[in-house]
Structure 1
Amino acid sequence: MADDDTDDCMLASDAFKASATQGMIRFVENGVELLNYLSHSSPIPSLILLDLNMPLKNGREALKEIKSIPAFQDIPIVVLTTSQEKDDFIYCMETGAKSFITKPASFSEWVEIMRSLADSCVLAK
């Protein structure tokens, strides 16, 4: 998960645990760290959760760069953001995001999102 908001990262982590989802979740704070992680870590993640509004390299820039690198093109990217802008949605979907989700307001919604994303990753394999 690439997100600079520590509260959202904590919610996502707690929701991931509460959803009883198998696997692990890793966090980076911006697009620069995300690209560095992808280039220097293994295994390649089965899913990237990407915020749009981050410092250094925002989510739009990171999405475009990831989708331009052949080794990473097939990683599903779900944009998880506070943005409700139609232009952000259109840009992300046209650039290769698998889904665009507005960050939830409640913990139970976070848990449901984590379950749903885990299920879609398992079904896609």
Structure 2
Amino acid sequence: MSGYILVVDDQYGVRLLIHKVLEESGYNVKMAANGSECLDLAISLNRPSLILLDNRMPAMTGLQVLSRLSEDYYAKNIPVIMISAESDLEDVARCLGVQSFLSKPLDVDVLLKTVEQTLAGARLEQRDAGRSLN
């Protein structure tokens, strides 16, 4: 994993707030304004360690981004935290491989705890996968 968190939201203020909170907590953060930018970064050689993905975006929803990510051999393993004001999306998002789901408006403490737990889980999965190869 490359060590940065990708924040994807079409609302600049939301992206900036999440970026600030995560950066102040010691995380390296990049931002994307839409699904297309997210896919470009997620499929690149410098993939994120985690994606925070809003669902309601123009042109391509978060669920559509998840579907596209699942088609890429490497990107499909990037943990995703879905962010949405629509709580009924949680079941659908989990079916597409979302590790966690956060509701808007965001609670900063819950955001940080969820990010920490998701990254810790991803590290354990990587370690266990490495052991099974040996």
Q: TM-score, normalised by structure 1?
A: 0.82
CA contact (8 A) 1:15 1:111 kept: no
Measured after TM superposition, the shift of residue 99 of structure 1 is 1.1
Query: Where does residue 110 of structure 1 map in the other structure?
Result: 108
Cα deviations by residue, 1:78-119 (Å, 9 ceiling, x for unpaired): 1012222x2x111111111111110235xxx22441243134
Q: Which structure's relative contact order is higher, taking Cα pairs within 8 Å and 6+ residues apart?
A: 1
> Separation in 2 of the partners of 1:62 and 1:8?
19
> Separation in 2 of the partners of 1:124 and 1:45?
12
> Separation in 2 of the partners of 1:15 and 1:111?
10
- How many residue pairs get aligned? The number is 117
Which residue identity does 1:97 align to in structure 2? V
CA contact (8 A) 1:104 1:110 kept: no
Between structures 1 and 2, the one with greater strand share: 2
Query: Structure 2, unaligned stretches of length 5 or more?
Result: 1-6, 124-134
Q: TM-score, normalised by structure 2?
A: 0.77
For the aligned residues, what is the CA RMSD? 1.8
Query: Structure 1, unaligned stretches of length 5 or more?
Result: none
Show the 5 A alignment for 1:65-104: 65-84=68-87, 86=88, 88-104=89-105
> Which of residues 48, 52, 67 is equivalent to 1:45?
48
Q: Secondary structure at the match of 1:73?
A: helix
1:31 equivalent to 2:35? Answer: yes
Instruction: List structure 1 segments (4+ residues) > 4 angstroms apart after TM superposition.
Output: none
CA contact (8 A) 1:76 1:97 kept: yes
